[in-house]
Amino acid sequence: MLTEVAATRYVTPLREGGSLPGLVEADDLTSYVMKFTGAGQGRKTLVAEVICGQLARRLGFRVPELVALDLDPVLGLGEPDPEVQGLLKASGGTNLGMRFLPRALGFDPLAYAVGPAEAGRVVWFDALINNVDRSWRNPNMLVHGGDLWIVDHGATMIWHHNWRTAAAWAAKPYDATDHALARFGPDVAGAAADLAPRVTEELLAEAAADVPEVWLTDEPGFDGPDAVRRAYVEILAERAATVRERIELPEAPLGGAAPTTGWITR
């Protein structure tokens, strides 16, 4: 389960994201980027963040620590921005916290090169989770401590917004021609050989178990939170086995494959 902490101070909104996340301080003396249950995308965005983020961590990707962040709506009373105040008031209870990475920089493919092996791992993982939000327009990756970190997985597993058609998504192709790392010649075959056998039902169940139960209750068509978790596990396990065959990449790397990962010097 996610570590549970409580927000003690709302610092500032982060307006880069459509859901208006905010920087907060918590009672463990740590700063987090908070994503709210009261945001327009609702709790399923947070479910996706947890399942995909925790799965990525178990597969060896660099992902900021995730916590269950309790919010007292009273923190919104002193917020001068009506939009932010309304969001805080609507999000009392359990929200998602992502550990803030100080001095992290947004990934820029013209400034930071990624080797084919690492690029292939990210592309394969995004294909597994149907990530529609890792394009060059909005990479959702950071460079922290000289390393590449992947963040913001709320726009993944879009099939869980309509469970009646979700099973068909296991066999859907993944268009990576616009992927932020497509220019680096991703070694998707090598990534699949390494990662696919590791995405077992047991590993997926561990990631799904980290989702707070309150975000899975009253899901239409399911008997309870455990049944919802099993549905995620079944679809992702089926997709992991064969998704490599359905990843669509550019015919040639857009900028030439980079042999190593790191800052580009000129």
Among 26, 17, 30, which Cα is nearest to 75's? 26
Same domain, 134 and 93: no
More confident residue, 187 or 16: 187
251: pLDDT strictly greater than 90: no
Same domain, 242 and 119: yes
Same domain, 121 and 222: yes
Whole-angstrom Cα distance, residue 134 to residue 181?
9
**Helix and strand totals (H; E) in the chain:** 6, 12
Whole-angstrom Cα distance, residue 252 to residue 175?
15
More confident residue, 72 or 77: 72
Total count of domains within the chain = 2
Q: What is the pLDDT of residues 194-216, one digit of tens each?
A: 999 999 999 999 999 999 999 99
pLDDT of residue 3: 97
Same domain, 185 and 230: yes
Same domain, 148 and 240: yes
Give the pLDDT band of residue 253 (cuts 50, 70, 90): low
Same domain, 94 and 116: no
Containing domain of residue 190, as a range?
A: 105-263
Same domain, 14 and 29: yes
Give the pLDDT band of residue 256 (cuts 50, 70, 90): low
Give the pLDDT band of residue 18 (cuts 50, 70, 90): low
254: pLDDT strictly greater than 60: no
Same domain, 175 and 231: yes
Whole-angstrom Cα distance, residue 52 to residue 179?
18
68: pLDDT strictly greater than 70: yes
Residue range 160-169: mean pLDDT, rounded: 93
pLDDT of residue 114: 96
159: pLDDT strictly greater than 70: yes
Q: What is the pLDDT of residues 106-120, one digit of tens each?
A: 999 999 999 999 999
Domain end point (choices 72, 99, 126): 99
Same domain, 93 and 183: no
Domain end point (choices 58, 79, 99): 99
Same domain, 124 and 219: yes
Whole-angstrom Cα distance, residue 94 to residue 215?
9
Give the pLDDT band of residue 47 (cuts 50, 70, 90): very high
Percentage of residues in the chain having pLDDT higher than 70 = 95
Residue range 52-61: mean pLDDT, rounded: 98
Q: Which of 25-34, 79-88, 226-235 bottoms out in mean pLDDT, i.e. has the lowest?
A: 79-88
Same domain, 220 and 113: yes
Residues 6+ apart with CB under 8 A from 163: 219, 220, 221, 222, 231
Same domain, 130 and 39: no
255: pLDDT strictly greater than 90: no
Q: What is the pLDDT of residues 79-108, one digit of tens each?
A: 888 988 999 999 999 999 999 999 999 999
Domain end point (choices 99, 127, 154): 99
